[in-house]
Structure 1
Amino acid sequence: MNWKAMFRSVNRRDFSAKAAFIPLAAALASSEAVSSAEPAKEKVSGIGGFFFVANDPEGLRNWYLDHLGIDLAPQFSGGAPWQQEAGFTVFDPFPVGNTMIPSGKHWMINFRVGNLARMISQLKAAGVAVSEVETYPHGKFATLADPEGNGIQLWEPALP
C-alpha cells in the first residue's frame, strides 16, 4: 500500500467527510492494509450509552426528550432506548481549559442533526438559548447548554 500516494490524492484543503474518510476506509478494507498473519484486533463498534450525574435526573431526561427528541432510557423490560442514525462520531479528548467545554464542566456532547435551522427554530421557540450558526467546510454548528449548564453542540454535516 502506498500510503503517501493515497494521502496526496486527497486535496488537503477539502475537509469533507468523503475526502477525508473514503480513501482511508478503502485502504483499510483492502487485503494489502491488514496482514492476514495477524489476528483481527477487537474494537468497540459505537457508543452504547452516555451517563452523567445530574442534580435533577428526571427533569433533565425530560428536557432532552422534549427539546432534542432523545427517548428516555427504558424503564421496563422490552423498552427501547434512543437509537441514533448511522454516521460519523468524533471521539476527541480536549485539553484542560479549552473554551469549547463550559467552565466547570468536563464534557460536551455533539449531536448530528439533519436540519440545523429547523432544530434551532424549535429550541428558540421553546425559550432555549442557542448560539449563532458557525459554518466550516465539514458542516454547520450551533451550541447551547442543557438546564444544568452541560455543553451541547449541534452539527449539520456538509453534504458530500
Structure 2
Amino acid sequence: MAKVTGLGGVFYVVKDPATTRQWYRDVLGIDGEYGPQLNWSEETGEQPYSLISHFTDDEYIKPGTGGFMINLRVDDVDGMVAQLQAKDVEILGHVDEGYGKFAWILDPDGVKIELWQQVQAPD
C-alpha cells in the first residue's frame, strides 16, 4: 500500500521571491535551486520526524501573518539564536520545553518561523 513518507515542502506567495530566498540563504543558511532545501540525509538526531499540527485559532502563529507557520529543525537552537542575533534578527522567544528547544523569528514577509531542536525521540 502506498503511504506518505514525509513533508515535501511549504509553498506560499510572496511579493519578491528572490529577496525572500536571499533572506533564507543569508539569515538561515539554507539554499536550493527552487528555494530553501532541507536534506533529511543531514539529520543526525534519533528518530527524527516532521509534524503537521492543527490549531483552532491563530494565537500560536502570531505575530506571523497568513494563518500558518514554518517549523524548521535545527541541530543547536542556542547556537542558531546566537548566530541570528549577530545578524540583528529579532528573536520573538526562546524556550526549552524538555522534549525540545524552540525559538521564533519572522521572515521578511511576516511568516513566523519556529526553530526546533528535537531533544527526545518520539514515544
The structure that is helix-richer by fraction is 1
1:105–1:43 distance in 2 versus 1, CA, 3 Å: same
What is the distance in 1 between the residues matched to 2:93 and 2:8?
31
Structure 1 residues 132 and 102 mapped into 2: Cα distance closer, same or farther (>3 Å)?
closer
Which residue number corresponds to residue 59 of structure 1?
19
Taking the aligned partners of 1:74 and 1:132, their CA distance within structure 2 comes to: 29
- Letter aligned with residue 68 of structure 1: L
TM-score (norm 1): 0.64
Amino acid at match of 1:119: M
Q: 1:49 to 1:108 in 2, by over 3 A?
A: same
| 4+ runs deviating over 3 angstroms | none
Q: Does 1:83 align with 2:55?
A: no
Structure 1: 5+ residue stretches without partners? 1-39, 76-80
Q: Which residue of 2 aligns with 1:134?
A: 95
1:43 matched to 2:3? The reply is yes
CA contact (8 A) 2:58 2:67 kept: no
Q: TM-score, normalised by structure 2?
A: 0.81
Q: SS of the residue aligned with 1:110?
A: strand
How far does the alpha carbon of each residue in 1:98-141 deviate from its partner, in whole angstroms, 9 at most, with x for none? 31112542210111111111111111111110133211121111
Match of 2:81 in 1: 120
Alignment of 1:151 with 2:107, yes or no, is: no
Measure, in 2, the Cα distance between the counterparts of 1:109 and 1:54. Answer: 14
1:115 is aligned with what amino acid? D
CA gap 1:82/1:112 in 2 versus in 1, 3 angstroms = closer
Does residue 87 of structure 2 align to residue 98 of structure 1?
A: no
Q: Which runs of 5+ in 2 are unaligned?
A: none
* CA RMSD, Structure 1 to Structure 2 (Å): 2.0
> 2 CA distance for matches of 1:145 and 1:70?
15
Structure with more relative contact order (C-alpha pairs < 8 Å, separation 6 or more): 2
Q: What do the CA deviations read for 1:57-95 (whole angstroms, capped 9, x no partner)?
A: 1000011111112213349xxxxx542344210111222
Tell me the number of residue pairs that the alignment of Structure 1 and Structure 2 aligns.
114
